Amino acid sequence: MDGFSFCISNSETKEILLFTEYTFSSSIASPELLLDKIIRVFDTDKDLQQDFTSVFAIHQNNLATLVPNKLFDRNNLAPYLKYDVKTLKTDFITYDLHTIITANTVYIPYVNINNYLFQNFGEFEYKHHSTVLIDKLLNYSENDSEEQFFAHVSPSHLDIVVCKEGKLLFYNSFSYNTKEDFIYYILFTAEQLQMDPNSFQLTFIGDIEKESDIYSITYTYIRNIHFMNPINSFFTDSEDFSNHSNFILIA
């Protein structure tokens, strides 16, 4: 609810041709206001005013949960969210099937955004950001014999993924307002998983730099900090974006 990004790639070579990011000055209060912002972007950005072979949308929000296949009933999705997400009877709830783990992400997409994209592009595919994040990180770490602790950072949102040899050990998402909130969730997760802050490697991806307050407070408690090595070299020469940023969209 605090931005809109898109990239355009060659459908045959998979080469990234363009990346654009719009950051809103503050978090948008409702999906309706978010749609207003996105409509303005579409009205003014000529790169979006063209035909595409295919369109893939990613919804990034905290209105989701991960459900193992053995507990999953696709005909009764609402109960999975009731403990973590405030839902309404009118909410549309859907799910993504993971490609690597035997689980599904159950979530609430922004239906009004989907409808607008359909009006502009016709049929398209969409997923929740956590589905894309988890599957990409499991592929990335499949040959690592040590536990890998990943923190995907957004301006007010933190996803933590812990995996080993391509297997998911832990996933959760947290909203944070202060740097103290941020480090608490990382240290609490490490404690629950019995991971020693003095020894495990923390890998940052997303919207975080060494100069930030959240990095500084994290380094106070965890010294073995690493930024994700680029899988895609698109940002290598960029002055505006780091290689570890926009992992979900670009990598």
pLDDT digits (tens, 9 = 90+) for 150-163: 999 998 899 999 99
Asked if residue 27 has pLDDT above 90, the reply is: no
SS (H, E, C) 87-152: CCCCCCCEEEECCCCCEEEEECCCHHHHHHHHHHHCCCEEEEHHHHHHHHHHHHCCCCCCCEEEEE
Phi then psi for 216, rounded to 5 degrees?
-60, -45
> H or E element: which one contains 17?
strand 16-23
**What's the pLDDT score for residue 219?**
97
Q: Which of 133, 189, 140 is nearest to 164 (CA)?
A: 140
Give 231's pLDDT tier (boundaries 50, 70, 90).
low
- pLDDT tens digits for range 168-216: 999 999 999 999 999 999 999 999 999 999 999 999 999 999 999 999 9
Q: Are 222 and 215 in contact (CB under 8 A)?
A: no
Give bridge partners of residue 160 from the DSSP assignment: 151, 172
Asked if residue 149 has pLDDT above 80, the reply is: yes
CATH architecture of the domain with range 141-250: 2-Layer Sandwich (3.30)
Mean pLDDT of the chain: 92
Are 3-134 and 141-250 equal in CATH topology?
yes
Q: Please, which residues have CB within 8 angstroms of residue 140's CB and are 6 or more apart in sequence?
A: 231
SS3 assignment, position 203: strand
Domain boundaries, the chain: 3-134, 141-250
**What's the pLDDT score for residue 230?**
67
Domain 3-134: homologous superfamily in CATH: Protein of unknown function DUF3822, N-terminal domain (3.30.420.250)
**What's the pLDDT score for residue 251?**
64
- pLDDT tens digits for range 102-115: 999 999 999 999 99
SS3 assignment, position 54: coil
Asked if residue 226 has pLDDT above 90, the reply is: yes
Q: Are 222 and 182 in contact (CB under 8 A)?
A: no
Asked if residue 235 has pLDDT above 80, the reply is: no
Mean pLDDT (whole number) for 226-247 = 77
Give 237's pLDDT tier (boundaries 50, 70, 90).
low
**What's the pLDDT score for residue 76?**
96
> H or E element: which one contains 65?
strand 64-68
